[in-house]
Amino acid sequence: MNLSWQLFCKRAKLIEDQKGIALILVLVVIALLVSLVVDFSYTMRVDLTLAANLRDEIKALYTARSGTEVARLMLKEDDPVYDSLDEDWAQFTEHPGFISQDDEGRFKGTIEDEASKMAINELVTEAGEVDEDRLKQLTRLFQLLELDLDLIDPILDWLDSDDRPRPLGAEDEYYQGLSPPYPCKDSPLSAVEELLLVKGMTEDIFYGDEEKKGLVHYLTTFSEGKVNINTAPSLVLQTLSDSIDEGLAQALIDYRQEEPFKTIEEVNNVPGVTAEIYSEINPVITVQSSTFSLRVEGQVRGIKKGIFMVLNRQGEEVRPIFWRAE
């Protein structure tokens, strides 16, 4: 083998090696590019999904807000002389004109009359003392719900202006000893949820469960104080007097289903309502309501956004006095 042949072979091998290295480099670059493209595509898809979800969340929230405007309009157009469950506002959810069938945005909701519940803040007078008649009403509510009456003293202490604990109650000294400590309210509640801060109150008692509704369903801080006999459930009607049992409450409901009460005097037409019962309940009943709570859920392609709002109606004006996103 001569020298030139050896040189030729070496050069050829070198070229082969260089080709191999180039091929590996190309493969590495392609692999890097592929992984970059896959990663980019994945990131883009995630970003796109996030953006679509955000878009649908915003659309769902504004769909719910549309629902609140429809509710305001219904209450504005409602006859304010009396308020009953056969009126349009009470059928808010079922109203077929207000729920679109496509997925591009629909809402559903309920309007509830706050005067269908007991006004918890009426327990205490403006002077900060307990109103004995309203205390009887709360006691009846506790009995009907089969709740421990020992919880009433702490509720009264929470609301009354003084700092003297009742036999089973609790004032600032008790609450300041908790971890973390907080002050006793000693004034009307801003929201019924505040009751969860009261000594002895539990979520089970307050919210109830599937079998039994809790206190939150029967108490309000938003009504003007009287109970609307056109909208109150049987249990709240029974809290009005020891003389109103389940049977008489049902008689009141049967009567209003035939024709809503237009005045409180009409309650005397209900079989079983005596002059004594009427004189006992007439200071605390009404047939009109001014405050309604509204729950609306907007939905867009499975994304849901809820709004809870309390609407106050004064004449032609219906305005929100409280709201929160849910």
Tell me how far, at minimum, the Cβ of 117 lies from Ca ion, in Å: 17
Distance between CA atoms of residues 56 and 240, nearest Å: 46
Q: How far is CA 166 from the centre of its chain?
A: 32
Show Cβ contacts of residue 244 under 8 Å, excluding neighbours closer than 6 positions.
Answer: 237, 238, 252, 277, 281
> Closest distance between Ca ion and the C-beta of residue 88, in Å?
9
Q: How far is the CB of 93 from Ca ion (least distance, A)?
A: 17
From residue 255 to residue 294, the character string flagging contacts with Ca ion as x (rule: CB under 5 A) and all else as - is ----------------------------------------
Neighbours of 48 (CB within 10 A): 10
Minimum distance from residue 78 beta carbon to Ca ion (Å): 4
What span, in angstroms and rounded, lies between the C-alpha atoms of 253 and 245?
12
Smallest separation (angstroms) from Ca ion to the CB of 171? 5
The only residue of 56, 112, 114, 160 in contact with Ca ion, by rule CB under 5 A = 160
Q: How far is CA 18 from the centre of its chain?
A: 73
Query: Rule CB under 5 A: which of 49-108 touch Ca ion?
Result: 78-79, 83, 87
Instruction: CB nearer to Ca ion: give 17 or 79.
Output: 79
Q: Using CB atoms within 10 A of its CB, is residue 315 exposed (0-12), middle (13-18) or buried (19+)?
A: exposed
* Contacting residue, 57, 133, 186, 194, with Ca ion by CB under 5 A: 186
Given 157, 192, 255, 277, the residue binding Ca ion (CB under 5 A) = 157
Does the footprint of Ca ion cover residue 153 (CB under 5 A)?
Answer: no
| Binding footprint of Ca ion, residue count (CB under 5 A) | 7
19-48 positions binding Ca ion, by CB under 5 A = none
Closer to Ca ion at the Cβ: 83 or 297?
Answer: 83
DSSP 211-269: SSB-GGGTEESSS-S-EETTT--HHHHHTT-TT--HHHHHHHHHHHHHS--SSGGGGGG
Residue 170 CB, nearest approach to Ca ion (Å): 9
Stretch that binds Ca ion, among 4-12, 30-38, 186-194, 229-237 (CB under 5 A): 186-194
3-state class of 122 per DSSP? helix
- Closest distance to Ca ion from the beta carbon of 128 (Å): 8
Count of other CB atoms within 10 angstroms of residue 5: 9
Min CB(124)–Ca ion separation in Å: 9
Nearer to Ca ion, 79 or 326 (CB): 79
What is the torsion angle, in degrees rounded to the nearest 10, for the CA atoms of residue 197, residue 137, residue 160 and residue 183? 0
Q: β-strands 285-286, 227-228: how paired? A: parallel
The span of 45-53, 132-140, 181-189, 239-247 binding Ca ion (CB under 5 A) equals: 181-189
* H or E segment to which residue 93 belongs: none
Site residues (vs Ca ion, CB under 5 A): 78-79, 83, 87, 157, 160, 186
